[in-house]
Amino acid sequence: MSSEKTNQSWGGRFSEPVDAFVARFTASVDFDKRLYRHDILGSQAHARMLTQAAVLSEAERDAIVAGLDEIRREIEAGTFEWRVDLEDVHMNIEARLTERLGVVGKKLHTGRSRNDQVATDIRLWLRDEIDAILVELNRLQAGLLQLAETEADTIMPGFTHLQTAQPVTFGHHLLAWFEMLSRDHERLVDCRKRVNRMPLGSAALAGTTYPIQRQVTCELLGFEAIGGNSLDGVSDRDFAIEFCAAASLAMMHLSRFSEELVLWTSAQFQFIDLPDRFCTGSSIMPQKKNPDVPELVRGKTGRVFGALTGLLTLMKGQPLAYNKDNQEDKEPLFDAADTLRDSLRAFADMVPAIKPKREIMREAARRGFSTATDLADYLVRKGLPFRDCHEIVGHAVKYGVDSGKDLAEMSLDELRRFSDQIEQDVFAVLTLEGSVNARDHIGGTAPAQVRAAVKRGRELLAKR
């Protein structure tokens, strides 16, 4: 069964209309209509440039710009009719403009193609999305700094292999996430530079015969540079792949953070409490308080990884220049940006409200011989080789396991069974406070260093 309508932007070559199913199958308007604002911005800049190039008159330019403004208002008011037979956001807007302006509306597409038009729209859209994502990322980092400063003295166990390793401060642990997010910020800012290059003017693939002035359009749209090759301009999707790679790394970090929050809220850890507004209950078990926000962020990470893999696979076999395959770039890109922004927003709201259970954290740090390395370092300062000290402390730990005593709970006589170099001053080393305070260097867990790192972090955020 054939459709009754033919897309008049290209219908002259065809002797019959597109099949109705094919029209629906190949249309992208259901998802690319979210580009409407950027499509209109690009078209208005293009019209202004065509006027400077003497292709359009000033009156025609003004009619087009005003007509596009009115169409934007129609879309935002929900009165605009989106037609599948017009395939995409570009032709829907152009058709409506032609309805309003007649022949003048048909002149807008002079000197461009949907190929460079869509490439421009996506870059404009992604540029704005990155800016919005960076706002949420900064907000999350500010929340981490706030909580880290408050908990600079709170002692908890640090882990390797999820086994108790050494005592750290909760503030220090939170600042590890700040560092990860700082790298994510750097990647997104750097990615934005390559997003912000203008393909408009590449036309279908070879450029155009009209006397266009690409620098004018570039400046009007706020691009930093003009694409240097028309073939690459219409077919490049590296910027989308790069964004999804940066987004994947950021989501991986949030997923690791989520995993710790899920563990810490469990009855087995009980290190923190999340406010009720970030949790849900069970339909059958009345005692349950489930950390749904971090669990869901952990799960949504797979969507962004999938977007990255999908875009890499989409592009790997394409010859130059534009191919219809590229219609499939938008949904994964849209989803990756939405998921990252929403996940960061959820965390930015939640993190400052985390309530640590300080006594439980401290008691957990007392278990698992977390000051064993401190005892070894103590013996090194007495002049013994580190490997010998390691063995001595290993024997002391074995004794502690057998006797059920932590190192700090052993008497001096018990400790001296393993080395006669151990004196009364050892107990200052074996305390949790002594352990964390001893690591008083840049990047260390000492409370003074945590506060210094918070100060540096705030200075970093202020410069952005």
Dihedral pair phi/psi, residue 441, rounded to 5°: -145, 165
- Break the chain down into helix, strand, coil percent, rounded to 5: 65, 5, 25
Which tokens is 349 given? 């709201």
Which helix (H) or strand (E) segment holds residue 114: the answer is: helix 114-150
Task: Compute the distance between CA of residue 208 and CA of residue 218 in angstroms, rounded to an integer.
Answer: 16
Task: Compute the distance between CA of residue 72 and CA of residue 148 in angstroms, rounded to an integer.
Answer: 45
DSSP state of 18: P
Hey, what's the torsion of the CAs at 409, 414, 419, 425, to 10 degrees?
A: 50
Angle between the N-to-C axes of helices 447-463 and 114-150, in degrees from 0 to 180, rounded to the nearest 10:
150
Return the active site residues: 161, 282
H/E/C letters for each residue in 294-323? HHHHHHHHHHHHHHHHHHHHHHCCCCCCCC
Which tokens is 34 given? 């979210």
Task: Compute the distance between CA of residue 291 and CA of residue 262 in angstroms, rounded to an integer.
Answer: 6
Q: Is the dihedral of CA 207, 212, 215, 216 positive or negative?
A: negative
